[in-house]
Amino acid sequence: MSTDLASPVTVSARAAKRIAEILKSEAQPVMLRLAVTGGGCSGFQYNFALDDSRLDDDLVIEQDGAVVLIDPVSLDFLKGSEIDFADDLIGAAFKVNNPNATSSCGCGTSFAV
């Protein structure tokens, strides 16, 4: 499945550019997998990892050389979210703007629903 205007999760132009740079630097073809796992200081946390295989039921978002995979269970927590990339004085990191999160920790890597 590829990205279109009805995609349940979007990728900002900044994030797509950074993801594409990371993927190109790898020796083997890989994709970025975003998953939601239990844990973190707020109950759930975002997990970004490089993955060399896509599963049949993954949501696949392709944009400007970036390929992001999201499994169906994680997608339930991420619908309506935007994956962004921030590069500022406190550091550079991917950030998920998630409208489903009722609260999040100060660093933005964990959230509650």
Give yes or no for a contact between 60 and 53, defined as CB atoms under 8 angstroms apart: no
**What are the DSSP E strand ranges found in the chain?**
10-11, 31-38, 44-51, 59-63, 66-70, 82-88, 91-97, 103-104, 110-112
* 62 vs 105, more confident: 62
State the pLDDT at residue 89: 81
**pTM of the entire structure?**
0.84
| Residues 6+ away with beta carbon under 8 Å from 112 | 42, 43, 44, 101, 102, 103, 104
Per residue in 59-74, pLDDT (tens digit) is: 999 999 999 999 999 9
For the segment 71-88, the average pLDDT, to the nearest whole number, is 94
Indicate if the pLDDT at residue 9 is higher than 90.
yes
The domains of the chain, with CATH numbers, are: 10-108 (2.60.300.12)
Location of structure tokens 């499994």:
71
Indicate if the pLDDT at residue 19 is higher than 90.
yes
State the pLDDT at residue 4: 44
